[in-house]
Amino acid sequence: MPDSLKTQSPTQFARVAVVAAGMVSPLGRGLSETLASLRTARDCVSRVTRFSVERCRCTTAGQVADSWLEDALPNDRKSRRLHRVSRMVIQALRELREQAPEFRPELTVVGTTSGGMSFGERYYRALQGPNARARKIPEWIANYPPQKPMVDALEACGLESPCQVIANACASGTNAIGVAFECIRSGRYERILTGGYDALAELVFVGFDSLQASTPDKCRPFDGARSGLVLGEGAALLALENLATAEARGAEILGEVVGYGLSTDNHHLTQPHPSGIGPRQAMERALASAQLEARAVDYINAHGTATPFNDAAEGRAIAELFHRVPVSSTKGMMGHSLGAAGAIEAVITLLALRHGFLPANINFRAPDPELALDIVANAPRATAPRVALSNSFGFGGTNASIALAARA
Amino acid sequence: MSTRIAGLGWVTPLGSNMEDVWQKLRAGEEAEASSLGEGPGEKQAWAFRVAPDFIAEAARHPRLRRSSAISRFAVVAGLAALRDAGLELDAAAAARTALVFAISNGGVIYTKRFFHEIVKLGAQAASPLLFPETVFNAPASHLAAILGITGASYTLVGDGAVGVLALQMAEDLMANPELDRCLVVGAEEVDWLLCDAYRRWRLLRAQPPIEPFAQPAHGTVLSEGAGAVVLGRTGAVALERIHPGGNFSRQRELVRHLDEIGRELAAKGPTDVLLASANGTFVDAAEKSMAARHFPEATIYTAKPSLGESVAAGGIWQVICAAQALRRRELPPLLGVPSDFGLTSRKSDWTRAVVTVCGMNQQVAALSLRV
């Protein structure tokens, strides 16, 4: 990128490369299917099939087909016990390992919000009914903890690595990538596996419904008549490595993580400060971390949940910080996958940087007159972005933004 | 620049004043277990609870008005650790402070209540007031709001090893010169549902005592509370080395990890004190074997017979006990061990302590402290 867009001369910090990635989401299984869905702006949201939504306002979500996960594991007893979110993580890790079989992480930092929550739900339902002695209860309990899917995936792929599992609500995935980035940039680590995962769970689905944060309509990020989010699920993993080391061994570089910013907005447990100060600080800090001017940013993959408050706060912050930068939220296509969202959207952003397009913000009908944004409305836009931000904001006032750069 | 322990705070079933609880541990006191009532799992559950008096300070904070017990424990412990460090966070100091929160079971009381309404009455009865408190990072959010922290705030989830993994993350964050300190808090609350789950997992004993290192293992008793450590640039006790350990799915893998951890930490110098996570379960035998092999001179201690097994909070309590042992050059008596237990010494010019945390769901980690 031109030096004129950098705020300072390069420092002694290590540069951080993405050397491999893997994902499964409602957009498809693997990077190729994901890319195809993004290029066609496919709407992958459908009626929820995993549990009853009869008494919910919202009845749709982005869902990962079980058939996509069938070959994630052998059909043995131990594998059959695993939660489907473990299968998603295994699927993502397998894809990543195909690209970088030699990648051995010193540390794993991932994000989630609820891990194998539906096993906890089954256990509780069993206790409340005639199946309080159900034989499967110990299995459900053992496979319910949120760290379990990552531990399962490492084991399934023959990798050993300590795991830090961040549960910062919807910002978890971006936080995980940011922490991993800073660990390598500081020189303390060479290789870190990072990402995020979450599977649809009734408790969470009903929780968002009870808050009226989810919508009975389509998810329409930044639309003037937006009415809420739809949930999603999936897993995405990224292999981060010191760029110099990766180049020395001839690794293929998918892109670079160049900055990370976070903020904590103490306004309310579930709502952002209406001024947008939380998102604004996170993006400002990501730019400062990347030593970049705002005008260096070619695209923002917004958090864009389509709730009136969230999009207003984020949109306001983007409009204040950037001059008509193209913005899209990909949640209209695949739903909001909570702890996985930041990781999935980071991979989507990398695909956009690598393949020269901006993903579409689908279901967009009319702009919000309060938000002066350049929305990539309804169809992908062909261009050659060099630097992009990916935002995630969550309950508890956690705000995170990472800056990604195309490989020059 | 080394990372040092600048302040300690805890909320335990024996109290929330650092010195009072330490003296009770020294006197060999055990918290009194109370019944949590009978759930549909038909078995009565016993656990060590935190008395309301111990967290009276929480009532001063309007933000905690609707919060679950776990958030109150965390806030009281966090504020105590900051006071112990001599810190009062103004806006400038808060901006240079990070928060790392360790949690395992999380807000189980509100989560159960929220889901119970869904199961019994249907989705339309779900409470929008309860749901936000079920989120793992709700306690950290409350604490950050009370302290005015506007920067880094992370909640880590895991098993009993998560407290040390949180300290590892905090140490990594401290590599950033823009941070002066990191507050690390581990917290848990108990409920009959949790006890039922651990019982079905064959890890729980019906009632106290917890008998560490007993063979066969009789099981543990759950407890609740919080522990808090302020990591800073100054302080008498240095965080010498964190070993992030690894994951295990079989007992032999736990033994192998502990052997590697023991070998590496023992190589860094003589160890005077070993704070074990022994809690009356399968982890005890593996820890005992590691202690005998790599730390034969160390005095071994676990506070779990007195305080119970509090998972994420328990790991931080271990670190607090290790730091106290080095600060005070004394340890409370090890309770409930078999009469032939031979892994203790009476040397007291202590300079180094090792803490091992073996979780009950696949994670193991360790650290060493030095004065």
pLDDT of residue B343: 52
pLDDT tens digits, residue range A44-82?
999 999 999 999 999 999 999 999 998 877 778 788 889
Burial of A250 (C-beta count, 10 Å sphere; 0-12/13-18/19+)? exposed
**Residue with the two structure tokens 């997992």:** B201
Q: What is the DSSP letter of B272?
A: -
User: With contact defined as beta carbons under 8 Å apart, do B203 and A140 qualify?
Assistant: no
Collapsing DSSP to helix, strand or coil, B30 comes out as coil
3-class secondary structure, B296:
coil
User: Quick one: tokens of B162?
Assistant: 């998560």
* Arch. (CATH architecture) of B237-370: 3-Layer(aba) Sandwich (3.40)
- Tell whether B180 is within 8 A of chain A (Cβ): no
Q: Round to whole Å and give the CA distance between A390 and A174.
A: 8
Cα–Cα separations (whole angstroms), residue B339 to A402, B172, B207, B289, B294? 57, 42, 21, 17, 22
Model pLDDT for residues A215-242, shown as the tens digit of each residue: 999 999 999 999 999 999 999 999 999 9
- The pLDDT score that the predictor gives to residue B288 is 94
Name chain A contacts of B247, Cβ cutoff 8 Å.
Answer: 151, 154-155, 160-163
Fold for A19-405, please state it. Peroxisomal Thiolase; Chain A, domain 1 (3.40.47)
Please state the domain extents for chain A. Answer: 19-405
Residues of chain B with CATH 3.40.47.10: 4-232, 237-370
The C-alpha of B51 sits at a distance from chain A's nearest C-alpha, in angstroms, of 27
pLDDT at B269 over 70: yes
The answer to whether A170 is a known catalytic residue is: yes
Residue B133: list chain A partners with CB under 8 A. 269
Does residue B368 belong to the interface with chain A, where contact is any CB pair within 8 Å?
no
User: Is the CB of residue A392 less than 8 Å from the CB of residue A198?
Assistant: no
Question: Phi/psi zone of residue B257: left (φ > 0), alpha (ψ -120 to 50 degrees), beta?
Answer: alpha
Task: Read off the pLDDT of residues A174-214 as tens digits, 9 standing for 90 and up.
Answer: 999 999 999 999 999 999 999 999 999 999 999 999 999 99
- SS3 label, residue A43: coil
The whole-number average pLDDT for the span B48-52 is 97
- β pairing state of A255-264 and A398-405: antiparallel
What class, spelled out in words, does domain B4-232 have in CATH? alpha beta
Give the closest residue to B156 by CA, choosing from A257, A389, A172, A197: A172
* Cα–Cα distance, A217 to A230 (Å, whole number): 9
pLDDT band per the 50, 70, 90 thresholds, residue A292:
very high
B157 with A175: Cβ contact below 8 A: no
Measure Cα distances from A303 to A37, A229, B250 in Å: 19, 11, 40
CB contact under 8 A, B135 and A113: yes
CB spacing of A212 vs B193 below 8 angstroms: no
Q: Has residue B340 got a pLDDT over 90?
A: no
Angle separating helix axes B108-121 and A117-128, nearest 10 degrees = 60
Residue B238 contacts A where some CB pair is shorter than 8 Å: no
Residue ranges of the alpha helices (H) in A249-381? 277-290, 308-321, 331-334, 341-355
Which helix (H) or strand (E) element contains residue A257? strand A255-264
Q: Does B140 touch chain A (CB under 8 A)?
A: yes
Structure token pair of residue A12: 């002694």
Q: Distance between CA A307 and CA A13 in Å, rounded? A: 38
Q: How far apart are CA B172 and CA B153, in angstroms?
A: 14
Question: Does the interface predicted TM-score (ipTM) exceed 0.90?
Answer: yes
User: pLDDT tens digit string along B174-201?
Assistant: 999 999 999 999 999 999 999 999 998 8
Distance CA(A73)–CA(A79), nearest Å, equals 6
